[in-house]
């Protein structure tokens, strides 16, 4: 407003006659999507460059007519500006809105264009929906139903192209189904910079292909399957295993690293079939690594713990809890938490450690080299949760040297371990002999072998909770499938122990209940409730931890705090 | 007496005239460049604007206006590309200019380059003209040795070199943004406009001027004779001469440089009329992608007056008023020996083969039309095919990335529109028993 002729911050445009205000240069498809309407499209993807090749998003565009002599808008009989519509339809994906622009997304001409484009796309398409893995989430199916002709006028022979081409270890290609939208090619070029896909041949014989001697094998290759609007690219892991309309999709968070990739867990009848990325423009956009998608295999892993045990013998849950309680009531108890635990678990574990008068709380650090994109240097998804709750106050190392020293000096009798393996974290056999171990964990490991009490717990897919990622963003994951029969939720186990220890019977073991306490207790969690936490998370105030030398480097939507970088140097 | 007016081709076909620089210099070659280098680039651009020169590649857009749209404030280098990817069926004028008088092209290019502060010029020549590439390359070397190309041209302090780039054989490389993609080493997929207007985001995302060979040759003459004098040639809005390529069913086909002639003068006086015993039926005025004009039809001139086919004036406006476009000036003549359905099948087969396949309507529609026409030509036509063909062709033009969509729409719709009787007769002669749509719906 201050500068008379400055760039306008907001402009008015008219979508099907409806006045909408938006910043200049807004993409038309995105704007209309934000209004709850749809401009059908195949090749456009909000996170890729605009290609404009599918021609599905054709709309009619108009601008106010300007009198060339006076330079003023031409008015109609009613005194409103006269709108000149362009004779040819324009693609919405390449349209950047300017002031006063009029768009028709539902006119007869637009509908005719969509019908024609769909007809062209379908004439050489195999129409093998009954055996196609994409059926149910196929844009060709959906738009053909919504905008298509409903019958075929094509009686010629279809073009024959390669079927079942192996593009890489995880991706399969059916060239006949491909509509040549080039999303996968642009993804490989622009997002992962692994330029292995391209078109060969010309015209209707154009074929998607991998460069000779190369494979689509980067750790993000399955994103091409996600963005493929049709059934051309399919996941070799998921194909033919489950019809997508049977899948229940649960919002979750990937535990692969502290990036906290937002995911959807697809499950049916207590079995997880696939993990796909969930859009979060602040964290992972619409992408996720292939390695994170394979994590559901841990649910049915061979070393999954399913039984409560005391001294290696199976017992009833209550017996195991009583045995664990007896050891917690003893002197000199140390607690080893996990960077894989949720915020709620950290909170209750911290409460338990206080009630048991813990001599030492520690966490096992897991650093490795990330990829600078969606896998960070920290393989623990929730170290920041433990920091925020005060379970630890320094960053964890890979070796539990403090614990080892205390055991050597005889200052620890019992170690309570949550989901970690002491044997690989710097505690030798000689030291393990000197202590009793209570192990709570979902999977067996060296520690479970020697623990006197073993309590099985759940994986991230079987419970609900929150993580705090590298950006100090609090993100929620929900239970996708029930846990194995008889196995208690981690929160139930820990709160039960806590109740037994301090005699308080009122504690509830759900994330909602934990948050009703947490939000009032800690300043950084003020006003947050589990139920109302947005699916894309909320950023927390991280000022208290600015001086800590976090290990993460720059990645998508994340720059490390300069202070911590300096501290590391 | 009807005659050509030869400006660009004045010397090219003279005996003993060679593509070497000595021939060109003997007739005052490079005088235009020398003259131009003494003037301000801005002046030269005005001169070209005054000349009214329209692009000879196909669209007939004003050359001066095209130059005025170039983004000059971005600080990026400006490139000039001479489009010698002449691949429209029926067109062979650029080939003559490049093969027979390459220095005329080079002079025009260097003037255009100087007038637009171009730092590097290119000639994109189609793969099928290997000899032309050699001739141009040799001519550039001669011109460089004489100081007309390269560093410090004619001691003016201005430097610009020319690189000859050979295509790999694709019709679509004649489209300027497809050409630019091809020069960058990519598949020649035409770019979307907006935002990729060559004048702003062209070659290597820098401002780029793409001009046709014939357009650039005209530049040399505009500078020599002056814009006003040039504008005197031809009709208002259609200045200068134009080289028309006549092929097909006439006695004397060939290329003719014309000022303002009528169809009768060109086809009967210069080309000798139809073959013995034959009657002209129609012409495709500007290359295979243009709409056909039927000889028996009534036409209008650009003032709206009714005229016959013989009186159509052969220039941009004359052909446009008659209902087609002068395109690349490749005139194909059809007589009564031609089966119109087969002629259309031939043309559509070409465009189906040459569609780049980037965008849906052109990629799929061209092949569909090709298959329907092939069926029609082999006795398998159904009654509804004519309407289907007409409708599907209408779904292509104007909805594609580049104007090539019209290369399907225009021929199909104009042939069916003007020769519907032939298509319908063909559809009735279904000898192969292809089921009609209605028949297929009946349960058996």
B388–A153 CB contact, under 8 Å: yes
Give B-chain residues touching A124 at CB under 8 angstroms. Answer: 364, 367
Same domain, A217 and A252: yes
Q: Which residues contact A439 (CB under 8 A, 6 or more apart)?
A: A417, A447, A448, A451, A453, A454, A455
User: Largest Cα–Cα distance of chain B, in whole Å?
Assistant: 85
B356–A88 CB contact, under 8 Å: no
Give A-chain residues touching B188 at CB under 8 angstroms. Answer: none
Q: Considering the domain boundaries, does residue A238 fall inside one?
A: yes
The pLDDT tens digits of the residues spanning B357-371 come to 999 999 999 999 999
DSSP string, A35-96: TT-----SS--TTS-----S-TTEEEEEEE-B-TTT-SB-B-TTSSBPEEE-SS-EEGGGPB
Residue of A202, A207, A208 to mutate, testing the B interface (most B Cβ within 10 Å of its Cβ): A202
- ∠B257-B263-B269 over CA atoms, to 5°? 70
Same domain, A281 and A335: no
Same domain, A247 and A187: yes
Model confidence pTM above 0.90: yes
Quote the mean pLDDT of chain B: 94
A154–B368 CB contact, under 8 Å: yes
A97 in B contact zone (CB under 8 Å):
no
- pLDDT of A346: 95
A36: left (phi over 0), alpha (psi -120 to 50) or beta: left
Give A-chain residues touching B367 at CB under 8 angstroms. Answer: 124, 159, 203-204
- pLDDT of B444: 42
Q: How many CB atoms within 10 Å of residue A456?
A: 26
A52–B437 CB contact, under 8 Å: no
- pLDDT of A417: 96
Give B-chain residues touching A55 at CB under 8 angstroms. Answer: 359-361, 399-401
pLDDT level of residue B431 (50, 70, 90 thresholds): low
Show which of residues 294-313 on chain A sit within 8 Å of chain B, judged by CB atoms: none
Can you tell me the distance from the alpha carbon of A433 to that of A439, in angstroms, rounded to the nearest whole number? 15
Same domain, A167 and A222: yes
Show which of residues 133-192 on chain B sit within 8 Å of chain A, judged by CB atoms: 170, 187, 189, 192
Same domain, A135 and A279: yes
A94 in B contact zone (CB under 8 Å):
yes
The pLDDT tens digits of the residues spanning B65-77 come to 999 999 999 999 9
- pLDDT of B442: 53
Residue of A28, A50, A52 to mutate, testing the B interface (most B Cβ within 10 Å of its Cβ): A52
Q: Considering the domain boundaries, does residue A409 fall inside one?
A: yes
A203 closest CB neighbour out of B353, B400, B437 = B353
Same domain, A296 and A318: no
A180 closest CB neighbour out of B195, B353, B357 = B357
Complex ipTM over 0.95: no
How many domains does chain A divide into?
3
DSSP string, A257-292: STT--EEEEEEETTEEEEEEE--BTTTTBT---HHH
B361 in A contact zone (CB under 8 Å):
yes
Residue of A144, A203, A229 to mutate, testing the B interface (most B Cβ within 10 Å of its Cβ): A203
Show the domain range for A64.
7-118
Q: Considering the domain boundaries, does residue A2 fall inside one?
A: no
Q: Considering the domain boundaries, does residue A279 fall inside one?
A: yes
B364–A156 CB contact, under 8 Å: no
- pLDDT of A2: 41
Domains of chain B and any CATH numbers: 21-235 (3.40.50.11540), 241-335 (3.10.20.600), 340-441 (1.20.1440.230)
Q: Which residues contact A154 (CB under 8 A, 6 or more apart)?
A: A119, A122, A123, B368
- pLDDT of A457: 97
Q: State the CATH number of the domain containing residue A534.
A: 3.40.50.740
B434 in A contact zone (CB under 8 Å):
yes
B367 in A contact zone (CB under 8 Å):
yes
At residue B437, does pLDDT exceed 80?
A: no
Residue B99 in 3-state DSSP? helix
- pLDDT of A78: 85
Give A-chain residues touching B354 at CB under 8 angstroms. Answer: 202-203
A179 in B contact zone (CB under 8 Å):
yes
Same domain, A265 and A355: no
A102 in B contact zone (CB under 8 Å):
no
Mean pLDDT of B100-104: 97
Show which of residues 2-41 on chain B sit within 8 Å of chain A, judged by CB atoms: none
A123 closest CB neighbour out of B170, B368, B437 = B368
Q: Considering the domain boundaries, does residue A1 fall inside one?
A: no
Q: Residue B168: is it exposed, middle or buried by C-beta count within 10 angstroms (0-12/13-18/19+)?
A: exposed
Can you tell me the distance from the alpha carbon of A228 to that of A222, in angstroms, rounded to the nearest whole number? 10
Same domain, A519 and A535: yes
Among chain B residues, the shortest Cα distance to A124 is held by B364
B364–A204 CB contact, under 8 Å: yes
Can you tell me the distance from the alpha carbon of A38 to that of B144, in angstroms, rounded to the nearest whole number? 59
Pick from B220, B227, B228, B181: nearest CA to B204: B181
Show which of residues 389-418 on chain B sit within 8 Å of chain A, judged by CB atoms: 392, 395, 398-401
A88–B361 CB contact, under 8 Å: no
The pLDDT tens digits of the residues spanning B321-338 come to 999 999 999 999 999 999
Give B-chain residues touching A87 at CB under 8 angstroms. Answer: 398
- pLDDT of B408: 96
Grouped pLDDT means (10 residues each) for chain A, 569 residues: 57 94 94 95 97 96 89 85 93 94 96 97 95 95 95 93 96 97 97 96 95 96 97 96 96 96 97 97 96 96 96 95 94 94 95 94 94 95 95 93 93 95 91 94 94 97 97 97 96 93 79 92 91 95 90 93 56
Q: State the CATH number of the domain containing residue A233.
A: 3.30.70.20
Q: Considering the domain boundaries, does residue A45 fall inside one?
A: yes
Q: Give the end of a domain, one of A240, A269, A300.
A: A300
At residue B441, does pLDDT exceed 90?
A: no
Show which of residues 507-526 on chain A sit within 8 Å of chain B, judged by CB atoms: none
Nearest chain A CA: its distance from B383 CA (Å): 13
A53–B368 CB contact, under 8 Å: no
Q: Residue B303: is it exposed, middle or buried by C-beta count within 10 angstroms (0-12/13-18/19+)?
A: exposed
A55 closest CB neighbour out of B368, B388, B400 = B400
Give B-chain residues touching A117 at CB under 8 angstroms. Answer: 360-361, 395, 399
Q: Give the end of a domain, one of A100, A118, A136.
A: A118
Same domain, A555 and A464: yes
Same domain, A365 and A250: no
Pick from B170, B187, B208, B211: nearest CA to B353: B170
A120–B368 CB contact, under 8 Å: yes
The pLDDT tens digits of the residues spanning B170-193 come to 999 999 999 999 999 999 999 999
B361–A116 CB contact, under 8 Å: yes
Give B-chain residues touching A179 at CB under 8 angstroms. Answer: 360
Nearest chain B CA: its distance from A231 CA (Å): 17
- pLDDT of A69: 85
A113 closest CB neighbour out of B359, B367, B399 = B399
The residue written with tokens 């760039």 in the block is: A7
Among chain A residues, the shortest Cα distance to B194 is held by A94
Give A-chain residues touching B388 at CB under 8 angstroms. Answer: 153
Same domain, A380 and A489: yes
Same domain, A284 and A318: no
A200 in B contact zone (CB under 8 Å):
no
Q: How many CB atoms within 10 Å of residue A548?
A: 19
Among chain A residues, the shortest Cα distance to B391 is held by A116
Q: State the CATH number of the domain containing residue A47.
A: 3.10.20.740
- pLDDT of B432: 59
Can you tell me the distance from the alpha carbon of A251 to that of A533, in angstroms, rounded to the nearest whole number? 12
Give A-chain residues touching B360 at CB under 8 angstroms. Answer: 53-56, 117, 120-121, 179-180
A203–B357 CB contact, under 8 Å: yes
Residues A406, A412 contacting (CB under 8 angstroms):
yes
Strands (E), B237-374: 238-239, 242-248, 254-258, 280-284, 293-294, 299-300, 306-307, 330-335
Q: Residue A107: is it exposed, middle or buried by C-beta count within 10 angstroms (0-12/13-18/19+)?
A: middle
B359 in A contact zone (CB under 8 Å):
yes
Size of interface A-B (CB pairs under 8 A): 103
Give B-chain residues touching A96 at CB under 8 angstroms. Answer: 194
- pLDDT of B402: 95
B377 in A contact zone (CB under 8 Å):
no
Q: Considering the domain boundaries, does residue A147 fall inside one?
A: yes
B399–A180 CB contact, under 8 Å: no
A173 in B contact zone (CB under 8 Å):
no
Q: Give the end of a domain, one of A63, A94, A118.
A: A118
């Amino acid at each position: 407003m201050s500068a008379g002729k400055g760039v306008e911050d907001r402009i008015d445009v008219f979508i099907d006659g409806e006045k909408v205000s938006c910043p200049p240069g807004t993409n038309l498809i995105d704007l209309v999507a934000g209004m709850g309407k749809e401009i059908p499209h195949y090749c456009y993807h909000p996170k890729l460059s605009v290609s404009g090749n599918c021609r599905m998003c054709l709309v009619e565009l108009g601008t106010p007519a300007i009198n060339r002599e006076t330079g003023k808008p031409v008015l109609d009989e009613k005194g409103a500006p006269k709108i000149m519509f362009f004779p040819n339809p324009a693609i919405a994906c390449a349209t950047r809105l300017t002031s006063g622009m009029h768009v028709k997304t539902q006119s007869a001409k637009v509908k005719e264009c969509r019908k024609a484009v769909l007809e062209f796309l379908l004439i050489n398409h195999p129409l093998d929906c009954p055996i196609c893995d994409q059926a149910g989430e196929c844009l060709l199916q959906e738009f053909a139903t919504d905008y298509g002709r409903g019958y075929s006028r094509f009686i010629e022979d279809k073009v024959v192209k390669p079927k079942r081409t192996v593009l890489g270890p995880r991706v399969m290609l059916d060239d006949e189904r491909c509509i040549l939208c080039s999303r996968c090619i642009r993804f490989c070029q622009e997002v992962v910079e692994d330029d292995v896909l391209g078109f060969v041949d010309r015209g209707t014989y154009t074929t998607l292909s991998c460069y000779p001697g190369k494979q689509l094998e980067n750790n993000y290759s399955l994103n091409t399957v996600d963005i493929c609007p049709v059934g051309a690219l399919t996941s070799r892991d998921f194909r033919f295993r489950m019809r997508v309309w049977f899948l229940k999709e649960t919002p979750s968070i990937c535990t692969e690293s502290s990036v906290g990739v937002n995911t959807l867990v697809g499950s049916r009848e207590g079995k997880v079939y696939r993990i796909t990325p969930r859009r979060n423009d602040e964290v992972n956009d619409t992408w996720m690594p292939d390695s994170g998608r394979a994590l559901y295999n841990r649910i049915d892993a061979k070393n999954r713990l399913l039984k409560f045990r005391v001294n290696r013998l199976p017992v009833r849950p209550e017996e195991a809890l009583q045995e664990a309680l007896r050891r917690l009531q003893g002197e000199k108890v140390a607690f080893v938490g996990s960077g894989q635990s949720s915020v709620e678990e950290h909170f209750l574990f911290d409460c338990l450690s206080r009630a048991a008068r813990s001599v030492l709380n520690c966490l096992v650090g897991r650093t490795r080299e990330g990829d600078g994109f969606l896998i960070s240097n920290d393989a623990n998804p929730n170290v920041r949760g433990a920091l925020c709750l005060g379970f630890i106050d320094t960053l964890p190392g890979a070796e539990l040297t403090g614990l080892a020293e205390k055991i050597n000096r005889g200052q620890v009798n019992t170690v309570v371990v949550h989901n970690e393996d002491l044997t690989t974290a710097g505690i030798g056999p000689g030291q393990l002999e000197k202590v009793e171990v209570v192990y709570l964990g979902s999977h067996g490991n060296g520690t479970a072998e020697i623990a006197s009490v073993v309590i099985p717990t759940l994986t991230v897919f079987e419970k609900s909770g929150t993580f705090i990622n590298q950006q100090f963003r609090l993100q929620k994951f929900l239970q996708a499938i029930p846990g194995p029969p008889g196995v208690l939720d981690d929160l139930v186990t820990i709160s039960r122990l806590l109740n037994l220890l301090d005699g308080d019977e009122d504690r509830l073991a759900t994330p909602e209940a934990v948050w009703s306490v947490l939000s009032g207790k800690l300043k950084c969690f003020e006003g947050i409730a589990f139920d109302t936490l947005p699916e894309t998370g909320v950023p927390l105030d991280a000022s208290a931890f600015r001086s800590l030398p976090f290990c993460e480097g720059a990645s998508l939507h994340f720059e490390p705090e300069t202070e911590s970088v300096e501290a590391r140097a | 007496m009807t005659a050509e007016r030869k400006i660009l081709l004045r010397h090219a076909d003279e005996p003993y005239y060679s593509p070497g620089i000595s021939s060109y210099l003997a007739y005052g070659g490079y005088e235009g460049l020398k003259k131009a280098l003494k003037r301000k680039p801005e002046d030269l651009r005005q001169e070209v604007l005054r000349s009214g020169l329209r692009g000879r590649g196909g669209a007939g857009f004003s050359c001066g206006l095209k130059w005025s749209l170039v983004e000059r404030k971005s600080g990026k280098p400006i490139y000039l590309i001479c489009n010698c990817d002449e691949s429209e069926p029926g067109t062979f004028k650029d080939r003559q200019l490049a093969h027979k008088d390459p220095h005329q092209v080079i002079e025009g290019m260097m003037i255009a380059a100087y007038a637009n502060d171009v730092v590097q010029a290119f000639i994109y020549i189609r793969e099928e003209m290997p000899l032309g590439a050699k001739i141009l390359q040799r001519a550039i070397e001669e011109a460089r040795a004489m100081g007309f190309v390269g560093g410090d041209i004619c001691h003016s302090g201005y430097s610009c070199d020319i690189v000859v780039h050979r295509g790999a054989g694709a019709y679509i490389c004649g489209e300027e943004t497809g050409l630019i993609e091809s020069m960058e080493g990519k598949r020649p997929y035409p770019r979307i406009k907006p935002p990729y207007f060559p004048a702003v985001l062209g070659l290597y995302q820098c401002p780029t001027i793409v001009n046709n060979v014939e357009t650039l040759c005209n530049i040399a003459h505009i500078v020599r004779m002056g814009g006003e004098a040039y504008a005197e040639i031809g009709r208002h809005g259609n200045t200068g001469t134009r080289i028309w390529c006549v092929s097909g069913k006439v006695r004397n086909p060939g290329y003719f440089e014309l000022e303002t002639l009528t169809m009768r003068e060109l086809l009967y006086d210069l080309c000798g009329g139809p073959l013995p015993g034959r009657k002209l039926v129609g012409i495709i005025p500007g290359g295979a992608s243009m709409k056909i004009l039927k000889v028996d039809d009534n036409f209008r001139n650009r003032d709206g007056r009714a005229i016959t086919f013989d009186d159509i004036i052969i220039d941009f406006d004359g052909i446009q008023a008659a209902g087609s476009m002068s395109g690349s000036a490749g005139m194909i003549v059809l007589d009564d020996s031609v089966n119109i359905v087969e002629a259309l099948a031939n043309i559509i087969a070409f465009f189906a083969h040459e569609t780049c396949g980037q965008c849906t309507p052109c990629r799929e529609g061209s092949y569909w039309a090709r298959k329907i026409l092939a069926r029609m030509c082999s006795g398998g036509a159904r009654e509804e095919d004519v309407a289907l063909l007409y409708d599907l062709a209408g779904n292509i033009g104007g909805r594609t990335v580049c104007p090539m969509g019209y290369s399907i729409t225009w021929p199909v719709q104009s042939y069916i529109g003007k020769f519907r009787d032939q298509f319908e007769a063909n559809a009735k002669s279904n000898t192969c028993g292809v089921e009609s749509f209605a028949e297929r719906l009946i349960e058996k």
